[in-house]
Amino acid sequence: MPQDLGVRVRIAVASGKGGTGKTTIAVSLASALADDGERVTYVDCDVEEPNGHVFLGPTFERTENVEVPVPSIDAARCTACGRCVEVCEFHALALVDGGVLAFPELCHGCGGCTLVCPEGAITEVPRALGVIEEGTAGRLRFMRGRLTVGEAMSTPVIRTLKKQLPTDGFVILDSPPGTSCPVIETLKDVDHLLLVTEPTPFGLNDLELAVGTARTLGLSMSAVINRRDAGDTGVQEYLEREGIDVWLGIPHDRAVAEAYARGVLPAAEVPGYAEGIRSLVEEVVRLRTEEESIR
């Protein structure tokens, strides 16, 4: 029986590196919850390379530009006093040949230079970083950020996306890989982190980094071990030492990779995969019950 208790449960699905099957788990979990009649929003925070749409086929209803205000210098008013250059901690401004040269791609839009300019020589102009897109994919709400090609600053796009998360139901956040600033922005304020990993020495190294980041943020977490029988026992032993529950172990199956390559959810055609995702669904529903009891 579907429940809608009005409780928002935000679950981030992340991995220390790309290629571990993170997106496959995120979209499969979101789809299975929606199939149960739950209110679910899938949020693709991997804004540099969003690919959840390949599996879920959303129809977009709303697009919003994400912009950062960058300085435009009026050379006629500028006296080359250098105050704006001094205040910019991102080195986005430089004094060159008696004038100020701006590097918009380094600008974080803090507005400091405009505030300190004694001549009123700086105005702010918008620079596009990316877009937020929202729509539906079957029973799912679908949201994603998409970074402009060639753009490096993905964190403001993720920040804008997260400000718009729904206030109820399950919210499944598909994190960028790694442990850098965009990942931390994604993981901030989530209720639980699901770490997708592989039982290899490389997988263990990246998992340790991801767990360290999650511990710093004070997150509760559990793990999914993909291709659990294709490596060694190091990851399993590490997770036990760290007290991190394994919610799901997925055996190596070439059919999963083939389904992924065709943009098909593995649960639709790989025997056993759907059962594994069902066990994940049971865990997150239990998590919601716990969340409800402490709010």
CA atoms within a 13 Å half-sphere pointing along the CA-CB vector of 230: 14
Residue 58 is inside which H or E element, if any?
none
Phi and psi angles of residue 165, each rounded to the nearest 5 degrees, phi first: -65, 145
Nearer to ligand SF4, 26 or 93 (CB): 93
Judged by beta carbon, residue 83 or residue 252, the one nearer ligand SF4 is: 83
Q: Which of 238, 176, 253, 244 is nearest to 215 (CA)?
A: 244
CB closer to ligand SF4 out of 82 and 138? 82
Q: In what order do the strands lie in the sheet with 122-137?
A: 59-73, 122-137, 140-147, 40-44, 169-174, 8-14, 192-197, 221-226, 245-250
Whichever of 110 and 285 has its CB closer to ligand SF4, that residue is 110
Q: Rule CB under 6 A: say whether 231 interacts with ligand SF4.
A: no
Size of interface with ligand SF4, in residues (CB under 6 A): 28
Min. distance of Cβ 92 from ligand SF4 in angstroms?
4
**Cβ of residue 184: shortest distance to ligand SF4, in angstroms?**
20
Q: Tell me the closest approach of the beta carbon of residue 176 to ligand SF4, in angstroms.
A: 23
Q: Which of 209-233 are b and which e, b meaning 16 or more Cβ less than 10 Å from the residue's Cβ?
A: ebbebbeeeebebbbbbbbbeebee
- Residue 163 neighbours by CB under 8 Å, 6+ apart: none
Question: Using the rule CB under 6 A, is 153 a contact of ligand SF4?
Answer: no
**Of residues 57 and 104, the one with the C-beta less far from ligand SF4:** 104
Considering beta carbons, is residue 72 or 220 the nearer one to ligand SF4? 72
Bridge partner residues of 173 (DSSP): 12, 43
80 backbone dihedrals φ, ψ, rounded to 5°: 60, 35
Work out how close the CB of 115 gets to ligand SF4 at its nearest, in angstroms, rounded to a whole number. Answer: 8
Chain Cα centroid distance, residue 19? 15
CB of 76 to ligand SF4, least distance (A): 11
Rank residues 81 and 246 by Cβ distance to ligand SF4 and give the closer one: 81
Among residues 121, 172, 194, 196, the one that binds ligand SF4 under rule CB under 6 A = 121
Chain positions 60 to 119 lying near ligand SF4, rule: CB under 6 A, are 70-71, 73, 78-84, 87-88, 90, 92-93, 100, 107-113, 116-117, 119
**Binding of residue 122 to ligand SF4 (CB under 6 A):** yes
Cβ pair 270, 253 in contact under 8 A: yes
Written as six digits, the tokens of 156 are: 């403001």
DSSP characters for 212-240? HHHHHHT--EEEEEETTTSS-SHHHHHHH
CB of 88 to ligand SF4, least distance (A): 3
Least separation in angstroms between residue 96's CB and ligand SF4 is 11
What are the residues binding ligand SF4 (CB under 6 A)? Answer: 70-71, 73, 78-84, 87-88, 90, 92-93, 100, 107-113, 116-117, 119, 121-122
